[in-house]
Structure 1
Amino acid sequence: MAVALRGRPAHAPGNTYFSYTPNGRKLVTAGINGAIRIFEHGSDGEPDIIDVQHDVHTAVAATNDSFVVGCDNGEVYKYNLTTKRMDEMLTRCTGRINDLAISPDGKWVAVASEELEVKIINLDDMTNIMSLREHTGAIKQLSFDMSGTTLTASCVDGMIYAYSLSSEQPQLIRRVDGLINVLSTESDAATRATWHPDGRAFVVPTESKELQVVSRSDWTRQKVFSGHKSEVSALAWSPNGALLVTADLDKDLKLWEVKSQKVLKTYDDVKNPILDMQWHPKDNVLSYTNTNGELFIREDFVPDEHRRLLRAETQPSPLNNDPLAEISGNARKPTTNGLAHKRTAQDDYLDDLLGPDVMSEDGDGFIEDDDGAGYAEEPNHFGKRPAQTSNGAPAKRHAAYSSWEPQIHESFQPGSTPWKGNRRYLCLNLIGFVWTVNQETHHTVTVEFYDRHQYRDFHFTDPYRYDKACLNESGTLFACPRSSQHPAIIYYRPHETWTTRVDWRTELPEGEEVTSLSLSSSCVVATTSAGYVRIYSLFGLPLKVYRQKSTPAVTCASWRDYVMTVGNGPVGGDGTTRLLYTIENVKRDEICQSEDILALAEGTELRSVFFSDKGDPCIYDSDGVLLVCQHWRTPGQARWVPLLDTRTLERLAGGKKEESYWPVAVAQDRFQCIILKGGEQYPYFPRPLLSDFAFKVPVAATQDDEDEGAAHQKNLEEQYVRLSTQQSLLQDLVENTHATHTQKTDLATMEGEVDKALLQLIAAECREGEERGMKALEIATLMRDRSGQMLTAASKIAQRFQHDRLSEKITELAERRMVGLVDEDDDV
């Protein structure tokens, strides 16, 4: 009776990871509980235990002298294997550590976290750091090649990024697409590119649950290992590369012969999914950890009948048409001049040692298909052998197993509502609103304006059933989905022209749908289901068609010649995609921001995208936060600044009201919206009234019991931050456009308002006492006025409160500024 396999309880139930030291003498495990265990190879004794302060470890990698562990709080620590003590914290990241990999020479550790950066840290000098930033999402798993000059990084975007580390600055040398699954970093399925010991290829689990070998020389697909029915969770080459062991999430553990890609044995005693797996560097031992906190050390893992493969010299990678395969220790020697060589006593000895059926007698170097299992089938043009049924006919593909899918953000049209009964709004903004009624056989569309002196309302019968619309001062834009009678259509109707008004329509290619529309004073923009961004003039002339980088598309907005598109980007650690946005000037063909991350808080969704009346991009999220994009005209400098958090409105204080807000626009420095009562999510009929709220940047929390002085101080601080943001937006507009005289005057006025807010803050600090003088002086250095009038006023304020020393300091600052000795960014 076979003895059941028993694991060693290394950690509390949960994901557990381990690493052998390169010499194979020690094995280090890390997992859920706040301890690290160090096992001696070949010993049944209790492991050494290092108690640490961090409860959850997510990765571990070891050298002969030390080991490195990563934590779920983003910290990475180095420990000494001799003293069993922590040497130092190597780095701290903003998200959990996903993986660690130590270079073969033991000098560098690569750190993958939830950040969009991989850090490569020198283990002897933690200040010596290289960074990899060319990937578009978080890296799930890492691996060095045998030389340590190439690092492969498996990304959540479904790509493998190969970096060269042979120069001082790492270089991206290849993106390998179409192999690995798009998975979250917390998925138990593996995406690691595991390098063969000869360094010429790596193997990686694919979307089809196979293991694909990829050549290093030209990055092409080579041999394939097929046999798993579930996602592969761990894999490892034997030290000589002759064997491969793999495990999947269905708890199948398989041992493969590398040369033939044949399963030698399937182990059915695995009780929990395997997460981490390694061969011992020298012995016939396989170790692995699982999702239950257990460590298994399986001695005599390779059966006796196949142990000769483990004893051979390093074998070549399983490449197609590889000449090295013919001279490996496992291959038949070639004939001379096309004739078989004469058998010798050495040949008889090798047959006795290796077995007579290792190779066929025809000298062609292929595995005989003596059991009809199809191992000798020629690979098809995809590099895979066709499956066979019992009668030899090609087998049908099995139904796909359920697999994890990322949560993408659905596309939406800003200002549009879903159906309620037979009515819905297609567009709501400050110009007016467009609504439609479902009449079963057709729709009727009505366009109404707030200013009926300038515009004339109209309505029409809609046989196309338009489902998207935009409205501005120039015209009304519509789009309809395709049907059996017609393809998807874009329709534009100008309000008025100096010639006869001419509507225009354009049909999209067959099968393509409009996912979002936007209309500005100079162009029409449509994102489509095919991933295209289509841009037209107001008279229907196609200006641009290009494929959006981040897909599926989510929405778009436009203002004058500027177009902003939003799409789904890489998958984050929570399994949802990160939204990316691009802003471009279509007239000048300039990219202002390219595929930058849209600043949404975790767990929130995008509700609307629009440009303010001054032309600044704004977004509104499901938490009720309004943000504006600052410095968006300068590539790489954009950031999203909150202008208002509607949850902090005074009208909601104390739970007096239950209401939310439907975003409409940002105009006249106020948030224009529709108030939704109770649990409503969308505005409905009759036509709702517009409301507006002043901006209030969430600088600090407001306490109900705080004194009047503290509340006044917070209000002044909020006023300064808000006015500074608005001044910055206006300054960017003036500096980057043909600004009008009014805009330049407004900028000067806004700068004065910022300085007035600073004067009030100085007065508040002086009122608190002379001990606040240093802060008051710091505030004075922030003043923008170059004439010295504001600093003179600040000095008088200090004198009024009898802070003579502060007054002298401010006067000195004003004098130095007047002679150009102090810049506003310099320390005082």
Structure 2
Amino acid sequence: MKIDSKPLRYAHAEGHTDVCYTEDGKNIITCGHDGDVRIWLDIEDDDPTSHCVGESALAVCFKDKRLYVATDNHAVQAYTFPAFDKDGIVTRFTAPVTQIKSTCKIEALGCSSENMEAKICNLEGGAPLFVMSQHKGPVLSIAICPHMKYASTACGDGVMRIWDIDIQNTVKEITCVPKINTFYAAKTLCRMDFEPAEGKYLAYPNNREIVLLDCESWNQRMTFTHSLIKCALSQCLFSPCGQYIAGSTVAGQIAVWEVQTGTCLDIIEHPTSHNISAMAWNPKGNGVLAYCDVAGQLGTLVNCYGKDSRKIGADADAMDEIETVEREDDNDDIIDNLIGNDSDDENAISLEKIKNETLGLQTEQDESRPQSRVAPPSTAPPQPPFQPSSTPTHLEHRYMCWNDIGIVRCHSLENGESSIDVEFHDTNVHHGIHLNNYLNHTMASLSSTVLALACETPSKLVCISLVGSSKEWSVSLPDTEEILCVTAASGIVACATNARLLRLFTPMGTQRQVISLPGPVVCLAAYNTTVMAVYHKTEPGVSAQHLAMDIIAVNGRQVRCKTVPLPLTPSSKLSWLGTTDVGSPCAYDNTGILRLYDVASGVWMPICDTSNHSRGTSDSWFVVSVSEPTQTVRAILCRGTTFPLTAPKPIINELAIQIPLCELDSEKSQYEEQLVRWAHTTAEVDVKNARETALKLFALACRSEIEQRAIELMELLKDDRLLVLAAKYASRSGRIHLADKLSNLADAWEKEADKLNVAQNSHFQELDTQETYDVTSTEQDLNTSLIIPHKAKEKKIESIAPIKPVPIKSSPGGVRNPFRKQQETTKSVQSPLSLTDRTLVEVHSTDELAENTDPLKPLDGETFVDWFSRNKQTLEQQHPELTPSELTRQGVRMFKSIQTKTNSNETNGQKRKIDDVTEISDAPVTSAPKQSKLSAFAFQKKS
């Protein structure tokens, strides 16, 4: 029997209209854009009961003899039935409520709203049971499984999310929703539904078909479609027995399929082809389906089960029998008793066999085998690619990029036109730019030299040079590639594609390099000529993304790469990637933790927890830039959202960088935090203030009667001037033994430094003639070539006579001054592994250098390492044509030549002439067999 359609009835004013049934199936309840709720006895009721609830009502739901209506004050209001008296407010939102959903087996309501949130609420109100707040657009619909284990939401950001209610997190994300920025502009509502009996399956519309998912593995079981369906399906709904499913299109078509066989029973055309806004099955199971359209009309379909709805409704026992026979695995024994077990007879008709073949279930032979039914752990969905410092692409007015250079905005109109505005923070860099977005660019990156724009389809990279005459260049990618991420810096432009390729360009358009990435890209960032690419290292875990970052440095013809893992907070995603103003990589996740990668030490450090600066739990911070010299993070406070609005223009706040040490409210931890932060970041810190902070920490250890901690602090800092001040403080405070230990500590440093210099000097002399040896190839230089420029500050040599504390001896004649300057001068000790090497070494010039008229003359007791560091810049100016290796060998020969000549002059009682040294130092070093004056002092290779 074909499905029959009853004539449409006027129900409400034009606009979104919702419909539901009472639990006994005797009444139809509708609400509409006019703010009225009407109760119908039947489709033929000419005088329905009408109640006004406000200016508009978008959703209605009947549950346990109560009526729940979404009113215009963004609340879910409860009413008694049939008296229709107010019975409390279940929950509130900050935007209109889009749907209210419940099932007969659960005691809760599922509510979705345009404020990018969905809630599962108690029927009596109070705090919600579960708040789903990770959406990036208006939530269009919600569905809850009968056992309250899973929930599903469809969002205007294009993603349908499946949530595990127990762990309150997403288990799967499916891209199947057309992107919109408001509920009222949505044509496809993506109304999904769980199978009502056991919740084994989830059905959702995807274009012109309905997809059925298995709720255990979340794999696709089957699809429902038909050749007569003209356009996209908007919603789907299981029948009360779970054996039929109905779907509606945006053009008014309604189709009904049988779930077991996938057969389409019939397709009904809407008389005026209006979009169907809501559907509801009659709970009696009589095959009656009520629906409403966007024109405010109400209609019903009968015989939707392929049988006469009147006969089904008249005989309740027959209805129960049909529901019993058509249920799934729970009633298999009843079916076997009714028709017998005829599986051995090949000519017999077996309902069990037909059901197994249709749904792909296990056969009887398979069921006889012992099998483990352990469900595999669900993994977090992989994070899709995104642009740092950008807002969602479905917004009409959005930020494409916001960094320390400027702001790139995109404005889209309803007619499809789009434009891009570029605003620079410093107008001296460039004037503002206005572009017509003909290619519908969705990605942008801005630097001081270039503006990079890109779009997925057609995959084309367009760059506008900001230097000179603002020339524009573009490049089209192969047809098989689509751009996913783009970044630009002052010396490079890069884009990552879906083919896992990283393409590098110069700012003027020269193709520089093509690099294969080990995994799917997540985002890109750049600084000068260095690109940082973040990608999925492996598949995501149960609650974490496994990301890694490649630091790719381009220097001339050379390309170098360093791979580091990217840490994230558990159950979080990467929200922003960038660098500080001196080039240190930084990463920010959606839990509010900002981390900085210290290139010198190769570790990630948390430097700011933005959640400590938020007032509300739903507030978040939109990071713009990070400054190491000022120790601040520039960010925008977003109240209730994850991104800022374009109008009005938001205000940038400065958050202080702080290492999260323990007990930061104590004075000791505050001083420790300052020393650690200054040691690992390039901060504008005065050496005097740094030493003062370290001395305060030393004083706290002395006051706490922990002298060993005070000595440990001095050994950690290794600063001779600070050691003198610490010894003076210990002596004045009466800690004589501590002052003695500090004096011995200075002597130990001097002996260790002398041994180290002797070993290094002999090592250099032994490797003098090796062609491949380069003295500049230290670990620090390697890091410098990876991140350009390196954060370490250039330090001059401190070579003054420090005040050396001596043990205090008892003097009966009076008090001695233990800090009197000694007669013999000692060389300053400076450890290359010092913790505060950047902050606690003061820059001074020496009197000995001033007295020495020859800058190349070695000082008394000076080793080659110290001499070469002091005169390296002079040697580079004298020999610009030499490579670092050749310059090192030249320096070794010159150092030995000067030492030999000095010793010879002292032996003959003559002074060394400056002209001779200048003549020697100016002698070029070439590979020709011609001997120079330094060849007599060079080491010969052993044959």
TM-score by length of 1: 0.52
The equivalent residue for 1:286 is: 289
Separation in structure 1 between the aligned mates of residue 126 and residue 520 of structure 2, nearest angstrom: 52
Deviation for aligned residue 1:195: 1.7
For residue 313 of structure 1, give the secondary structure of its aligned residue in structure 2: helix
Amino acid of the residue matched to residue 191 of structure 1? C
The match for 2:171 among 170, 174, 188 is: 174
Q: 1:189 to 1:634 in 2, by over 3 A?
A: farther
For residue 171 of structure 2, give the secondary structure of its aligned residue in structure 1: strand
- Within the alignment, does 1:584 sit opposite 2:595 as a pair? yes
Deviation for aligned residue 1:136: 3.8
- Within the alignment, does 1:628 sit opposite 2:652 as a pair? yes
- Within the alignment, does 1:211 sit opposite 2:222 as a pair? no
Deviation for aligned residue 1:331: 11
Deviation for aligned residue 1:633: 5.5
- Aligned 8 A contact 1:180 1:204 in 2: no
More strand by share: 1
- Within the alignment, does 1:66 sit opposite 2:83 as a pair? no
The equivalent residue for 2:503 is: 488
The equivalent residue for 1:558 is: 580
The equivalent residue for 1:406 is: 394
Separation in structure 1 between the aligned mates of residue 653 and residue 293 of structure 2, nearest angstrom: 45
Q: 1:744 to 1:582 in 2, by over 3 A?
A: farther
Q: Please give the residue correspondences for 1:8-157 in structure 2 after superposition, counting only pairs within 5 Å.
A: 8-41=9-42, 44-52=45-53, 54-105=54-105, 107-124=107-124, 126-133=125-132, 135-137=134-136, 138-157=138-157
The match for 1:276 among 265, 278, 281 is: 278
Deviation for aligned residue 1:286: 1.4
Deviation for aligned residue 1:505: 7.0
Amino acid of the residue matched to residue 312 of structure 1? I
Deviation for aligned residue 1:249: 0.8
Deviation for aligned residue 1:16: 0.2
Separation in structure 2 between the aligned mates of residue 56 and residue 635 of structure 1, nearest angstrom: 51
Separation in structure 2 between the aligned mates of residue 69 and residue 270 of structure 1, nearest angstrom: 29
Amino acid of the residue matched to residue 201 of structure 1? K
- Aligned 8 A contact 1:200 1:215 in 2: no
Deviation for aligned residue 1:221: 1.6
Q: Please give the residue correspondences for 1:253-272 in structure 2 after superposition, counting only pairs within 5 Å.
A: 253-271=254-272, 272=274
The match for 2:493 among 467, 479, 486 is: 479
For residue 30 of structure 2, give the secondary structure of its aligned residue in structure 1: strand
Deviation for aligned residue 1:611: 4.0
Listed one character per residue, the Cα deviations across residues 766-824 of structure 1 (whole Å, up to 9, x for unaligned) are xxxxxxxxxxxxxxxxxxxxxxxxxxxxxxxxxxxxxxxxxxxxxxxxxxxxxxxxxxx
Deviates more, 1:536-545 or 1:201-210: 536-545
Q: 1:164 to 1:554 in 2, by over 3 A?
A: closer
Separation in structure 2 between the aligned mates of residue 75 and residue 425 of structure 1, nearest angstrom: 40
Amino acid of the residue matched to residue 237 of structure 1? F
Deviation for aligned residue 1:292: 0.8
Deviation for aligned residue 1:78: 0.9
- Within the alignment, does 1:519 sit opposite 2:527 as a pair? yes
For residue 251 of structure 2, give the secondary structure of its aligned residue in structure 1: coil
The equivalent residue for 2:715 is: none
Separation in structure 1 between the aligned mates of residue 34 and residue 422 of structure 2, nearest angstrom: 54
Deviation for aligned residue 1:151: 3.0
Listed one character per residue, the Cα deviations across residues 367-392 of structure 1 (whole Å, up to 9, x for unaligned) are 99xxxxxx9999xxxxxxxxxxxxxx
Separation in structure 2 between the aligned mates of residue 489 and residue 582 of structure 1, nearest angstrom: 30
- Aligned 8 A contact 2:523 2:577 in 1: yes
Gaps of 5+ in 1: 342-358, 369-374, 379-404, 419-423, 438-442, 449-458, 472-476, 494-503, 570-579, 600-605, 637-729, 747-828
Deviates more, 1:97-106 or 1:533-542: 533-542
Deviation for aligned residue 1:68: 0.9
Separation in structure 1 between the aligned mates of residue 235 and residue 298 of structure 2, nearest angstrom: 14
Q: 1:132 to 1:376 in 2, by over 3 A?
A: closer
- Aligned 8 A contact 1:412 1:515 in 2: no
Separation in structure 2 between the aligned mates of residue 595 and residue 177 of structure 1, nearest angstrom: 30
The equivalent residue for 1:196 is: 195
Listed one character per residue, the Cα deviations across residues 314-333 of structure 1 (whole Å, up to 9, x for unaligned) are 46688xxx897897699976
CA RMSD of aligned residues (A): 5.9
Deviation for aligned residue 1:557: 5.1
- Aligned 8 A contact 2:520 2:535 in 1: yes
Separation in structure 2 between the aligned mates of residue 141 and residue 331 of structure 1, nearest angstrom: 41
Listed one character per residue, the Cα deviations across residues 711-770 of structure 1 (whole Å, up to 9, x for unaligned) are xxxxxxxxxxxxxxxxxxx99996983377669999xxxxxxxxxxxxxxxxxxxxxxxx
More helix by share: 2
Deviation for aligned residue 1:222: 1.0
For residue 58 of structure 1, give the secondary structure of its aligned residue in structure 2: coil
The equivalent residue for 2:323 is: 313
Separation in structure 2 between the aligned mates of residue 4 and residue 198 of structure 1, nearest angstrom: 27
The match for 2:633 among 606, 611, 616 is: 616
- Aligned 8 A contact 2:523 2:534 in 1: yes
- Aligned 8 A contact 2:118 2:133 in 1: no
For residue 589 of structure 1, give the secondary structure of its aligned residue in structure 2: strand
Listed one character per residue, the Cα deviations across residues 660-697 of structure 1 (whole Å, up to 9, x for unaligned) are xxxxxxxxxxxxxxxxxxxxxxxxxxxxxxxxxxxxxx
Deviation for aligned residue 1:60: 1.2
The equivalent residue for 1:235 is: 236
Separation in structure 1 between the aligned mates of residue 492 and residue 248 of structure 2, nearest angstrom: 53
Separation in structure 2 between the aligned mates of residue 412 and residue 173 of structure 1, nearest angstrom: 28
For residue 110 of structure 1, give the secondary structure of its aligned residue in structure 2: strand
Deviation for aligned residue 1:538: 8.8
For residue 250 of structure 1, give the secondary structure of its aligned residue in structure 2: coil
Separation in structure 2 between the aligned mates of residue 630 and residue 102 of structure 1, nearest angstrom: 46
Aligned length: 536
- Aligned 8 A contact 1:241 1:314 in 2: no
Listed one character per residue, the Cα deviations across residues 63-108 of structure 1 (whole Å, up to 9, x for unaligned) are 2421111135422211111321222223221122122123535632
Deviates more, 1:36-45 or 1:619-628: 619-628
- Aligned 8 A contact 1:249 1:273 in 2: yes
- Aligned 8 A contact 2:487 2:495 in 1: no
Gaps of 5+ in 2: 313-317, 362-392, 409-420, 431-447, 452-462, 477-485, 538-546, 615-620, 637-643, 661-669, 691-943
- Aligned 8 A contact 2:108 2:122 in 1: yes
- Within the alignment, does 1:508 sit opposite 2:515 as a pair? yes
Separation in structure 1 between the aligned mates of residue 30 and residue 423 of structure 2, nearest angstrom: 58
Separation in structure 2 between the aligned mates of residue 279 and residue 25 of structure 1, nearest angstrom: 12
Which structure has the greater CA radius of gyration?
2
Deviates more, 1:582-591 or 1:558-567: 558-567
Separation in structure 2 between the aligned mates of residue 735 and residue 223 of structure 1, nearest angstrom: 62
- Aligned 8 A contact 1:241 1:315 in 2: no
Separation in structure 2 between the aligned mates of residue 278 and residue 330 of structure 1, nearest angstrom: 34
Separation in structure 2 between the aligned mates of residue 68 and residue 117 of structure 1, nearest angstrom: 18
Separation in structure 1 between the aligned mates of residue 48 and residue 530 of structure 2, nearest angstrom: 70
TM-score by length of 2: 0.46
